[in-house]
């Protein structure tokens, strides 16, 4: 994956963004990882290509319940749950919200600015970003450390983004999810990341489940996403992507260095 797998983060779009202190710092470009030529089965590759075509729809929306599994201070297995709601209009519009076990956070992208608002604390920030969804995500995540582990599904080439760094992949079997036959795919991304992806066994091949397991970390923590409510014929109005500060909200400015990195 291009996003969300290099480090084990908060496991949910914007879930870790408190906005009270806005813990966002710029970072340099990551070094390219050298990997062997990937060995992806034809069936698995074909399923991802079909998925990629569906996710290049002009506009679409979906929901995802996510679960981050990690070890607590005493080694106990703990879980953090969130519900994510996303609407995309290519090439330059996106709105998302995250509600769950920590703060409720929303993001608005209008092709020029990315607005982040912490509903719980009634704080927000507005960041100038590039004019495509992929470049906005690259800036927000790569330079500002804003977390969005499902970002690969929103890039200009979702199937290729998903396979970044992957060295092997195959189809395990076919299972039924909510009455729909789905292919269970398994991939490996060295060092120490296992990926399981369930896509519908049809021409759309929409994602229905994702599990990322970090086998190289103590306790093998994981990130789980359960997708639902896919709509590839969404018709969001321009107003859906416009941000208006909530009444009484406090604006939090980025540090100067982080603001410069976002441009």
- Which residue in the block uniquely carries the two structure tokens 């719980």? 120
Q: What distance in Å separates the CA atoms of residue 230 and residue 55, rounded to the nearest whole number?
A: 10
CB 85 within 8 A of CB 96: yes
Among residues of the chain, what percentage have pLDDT more than 90?
71
Task: Decide if pLDDT at 85 tops 80.
Answer: yes
Quick one: average pLDDT of 166-186?
98
CA distances from 38 to 46, 188, 191, 214, 218 (A): 15, 10, 14, 19, 27
Query: Is pLDDT larger for residue 19 or for residue 171?
Result: 171
Task: Decide if pLDDT at 212 tops 50.
Answer: yes
Task: Decide if pLDDT at 170 tops 80.
Answer: yes
* Per-residue model confidence as pLDDT tens digits over 12-40: 333 333 332 222 222 222 233 454 578 99
255: confidence class by pLDDT, cuts 50, 70, 90: low
| Domains of the chain and any CATH numbers | 39-262 (2.50.20.10)
In sequence order, what are the residues at sequence separation of 6 or more whose Cβ sits closer than 8 angstroms to the Cβ of residue 256? none
CB 263 within 8 A of CB 128: yes
Average model confidence (pLDDT) across the chain:
85
Query: Whole-prediction pTM value?
Result: 0.85
Q: Which of 135, 139, 138, 142 is nearest to 127 (CA)?
A: 139
Residue 148 has a pLDDT of 85
């Amino acid at each position: 994956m291009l996003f969300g797998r290099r480090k084990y983060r908060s496991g949910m779009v914007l879930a870790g963004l408190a906005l009270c202190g806005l813990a966002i710092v710029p970072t340099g470009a990551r070094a390219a990882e050298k990997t062997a030529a990937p060995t992806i089965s034809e069936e698995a590759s074909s399923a991802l290509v079909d998925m990629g075509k569906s996710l290049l729809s002009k506009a679409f929306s979906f929901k995802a319940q996510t679960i981050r599994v990690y070890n607590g201070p005493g080694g106990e297995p703990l879980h953090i749950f969130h519900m994510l709601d996303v609407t995309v209009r290519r090439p330059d519009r996106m709105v998302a919200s995250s509600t769950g076990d920590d703060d409720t956070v929303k993001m608005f992208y209008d092709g020029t600015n990315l607005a982040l608002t912490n509903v719980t604390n009634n704080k927000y920030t507005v960041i100038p970003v590039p004019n495509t969804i992929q470049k906005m995500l690259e800036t927000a995540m790569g330079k500002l450390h804003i977390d969005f582990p499902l970002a690969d599904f929103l890039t200009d080439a979702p199937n290729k983004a998903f396979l970044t760094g992957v060295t092997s992949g195959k189809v395990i079997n076919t299972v039924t999810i909510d009455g729909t036959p789905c292919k269970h795919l398994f991939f490996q991304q060295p060092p120490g990341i296992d990926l399981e992806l369930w896509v519908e066994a049809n021409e759309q091949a929409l994602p229905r489940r994702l599990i990322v397991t970090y086998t190289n970390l103590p306790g093998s923590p994981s990130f789980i996403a359960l997708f639902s409510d896919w709509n590839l014929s969404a018709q969001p109005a321009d107003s859906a992507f416009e941000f208006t500060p909530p009444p009484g909200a406090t604006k939090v400015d980025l540090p100067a260095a982080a603001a410069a990195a976002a441009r």
